[in-house]
Structure 1
Amino acid sequence: MLVIYEHPLSPYAQKLKISLREKGVEFEARLPDGIGTGTTQSDFASVSPRGEVPAFVHEGRAIFDSTIILEYIEDVWPTPPMLPADPYERARVRMIEDVMDTHVEAIAWGLGELNFFGRASGALKEEIEKNAASQVADFHSWLESELGNRDWFNGHDFGWGDLSVIPYLNGLAGFGLTPKEGSRLSDWMTRANARESVKQTQAESAASITGMSDVGAAIEAGLFKRQYRDHRLEWMIKSGGLEVVTKGLEKQTIRFTEPFRG
């Protein structure tokens, strides 16, 4: 059995689901018990030592980290290939993935902290959102240049570069931050969202948003401890949200990566 522990909103998990669907590989998606609380236990704790999604179990063997899982998927199910054949092009789309997974993910995550988890309001929220909009515009411009005259980030065919970008742009679009209408990036986004693998994955993501309406209250009640690791912590501070971090520490509603335990 092939199992992905995930949350449908997670762009890291969405990458894996899109790849598997492009390859026609069936899988079971599981939402871990207590996800987001910082106290996740049961079988998920044994397969994800960082306590975060996605985690992947194939033939009884567990893998964590979305990029490593994508590489495993490519090794086990090589057809159709998601990576280009040319070594430089393979490196290029991997660099795109890294930018999306670190720099861009932090923006979408941070906007979720503000709008789903109620981390800031008033002038502070406006300042952070203004900074986020400026950053997203810069990344849209960078992605437009990376796309160039290609049909896909991968080149002639949809692949690794595309499935690494579309979950993040869809997430940002949910906050009203979309590529300029009529741009090549906007046209690419329309084509990507028309693919069945992306369409199904995005539908699952959109459906899960309805469950986010009460998470702000859960944060205030101390039931959730959101993970503020590396790029996310950096983004919140540099975008004007140092107060968000200090308040979260005082209220014990944010967490960092726990030590690994055997």
Structure 2
Amino acid sequence: MLGVMEDMLQYRESMAQALELARKGAGWVDPNPLVGAVVVRDGEVLATGYHDRYRGPHAERMAFDYADAHGIDLTGATVIDTLEPCCHVGSQPACTALILAHGIARVVVGSVDPNPIVAGKGLRILEEAGVEVVRDVMREECDAINRHFFHYITTGKPYIVDGRRRAGESDSEYVVRRRELYATYAAVLAGTESDVPDESFAHFNGPVQAVGADEVVIGGHRPLLLEAGALACTDPDEWLRELGKRKIDSLIVESDEAFERLSMACQKD
């Protein structure tokens, strides 16, 4: 029993490290999830990785590439993953295949991936291949960092946040909060372009796109695939689904009228 408790303590410590790594991808990986991975054996951290950009290497691959480059044998090691490893080939190889190829003995996960093409399949593949799987370690924390992705992948619509100025909020407080939101959300819907101060979105490289009579969307860390004037806010649910099809997984709403119109059509903070 003591050994199990010690193992769980180590899992939690490593998962906390994996969570910190995962957060580094915030604002850069959308519409993909944030993922961090730590590879350990006998209490020693052998390699780490995180998903750092859209279409970039997955967290597990980054960790394995580091180990391979440094001649580190991972046979019998444990992978601590904030999210269930993927089991399909897309722009990156399946992480389950990489795990098996490196002789990993155990995989510890926080969240199960709700994406229908994964959704527990990755863990089943590993278990059927003889890899021990430990589930739900710090699940609440792991779920929390991917609330945008979980909502987007299950509904097809972006997760929205109320970005309007709060009562009693000073200018400096508002600018700081906006910068924090702009760094982690895919797009922002403002009343007019002039309402968005340069200092708050200077790092955004996407074009300004008109989506309604009085609203504009300002792009994120990569250009948005929106055509000026192509979207009109007549049917909020349809409009949000169209944004989702264009891989916009999260949206800050700063327009009073738009927020009221959209608030019933999408989960929000």
Q: Do Structure 1 and Structure 2 share a fold, with TM-score over 0.5? A: no
TM-score of the pair, normalised by structure 2: 0.30
TM-score of the pair, normalised by structure 1: 0.30
Higher helix share: 1
Which has more radius of gyration? 2
Higher strand share: 2
Which of the pair has the greater relative contact order for Cα pairs under 8 Å at 6+ separation?
A: 1
